[in-house]
């Protein structure tokens, strides 16, 4: 009896460890799904990418996190990693989603971490 209950809970942990929120794409910790709350939404605009009145909207814990996530995403999508590899600073403007607040500018810079590989010589 005890053994079967233990294996049931282990299986449940494995499944829930992989779950992600469908709304914010945040990782949902095992045992915490009932308490998950999506972080707030932010509007982010980059003057080089967006025309007048255009912006992207994403979930993030705060405005700085929103700026960082947007640049990470755009670095990934255009596959050039301009910010991370070239160290080119990217300026983005952030404000709470749907608000009339002033846009606040953030500069995002990044860097690549070097990765080394080793193999035994023949």
Cα–Cα dist 32/54, whole Å? 36
Q: How far is the CB of 23 from Zn ion (least distance, A)?
A: 5
Give the range of 23-31, 63-71, 86-94, 99-107 binding Zn ion by CB under 5 A: 23-31
From the CA atom positions of the chain, what is the Rg in Å?
A: 20
Residue 28 neighbours by CB distance under 10 Å: 17
Considering only residues 38, 104, 105, 107, which one is a binding residue for Zn ion as defined by CB under 5 A? 38
Q: Could you tell me the smallest distance in angstroms from the CB atom of residue 62 to Zn ion?
A: 16
Told to check if 26 binds Zn ion by CB under 5 A, we report yes
Quick check: 21 binds Zn ion (CB under 5 A)? yes
Residue with the two structure tokens 């709304």: 23
Kindly state whether residue 27 participates in binding Zn ion, applying the rule CB under 5 A.
Answer: no
Give the nearer residue to Zn ion in terms of CB position, either 11 or 23.
23
Q: Name the token pair of 30.
A: 């095992």
Burial of 16 (0-12, 13-18, 19+ CB in 10 A): middle
Residue ranges binding Zn ion (CB under 5 A): 21, 23-24, 26, 38
């Amino acid at each position: 009896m005890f053994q079967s209950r233990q294996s049931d809970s282990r299986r449940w942990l494995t499944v829930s460890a992989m779950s992600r929120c469908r709304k914010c794409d945040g990782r949902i910790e095992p045992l915490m799904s009932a308490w998950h709350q999506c972080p707030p939404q932010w509007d982010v605009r980059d003057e080089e990418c967006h025309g007048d009145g255009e912006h992207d909207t994403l979930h993030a814990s705060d405005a700085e996190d929103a700026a960082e996530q947007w640049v990470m995403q755009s670095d990934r999508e255009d596959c050039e990693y301009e910010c991370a590899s070239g160290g080119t600073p990217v300026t983005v403007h952030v404000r709470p989603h749907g608000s009339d607040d002033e846009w606040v500018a953030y500069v995002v810079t990044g860097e690549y971490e070097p990765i080394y590989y080793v193999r035994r010589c023949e």
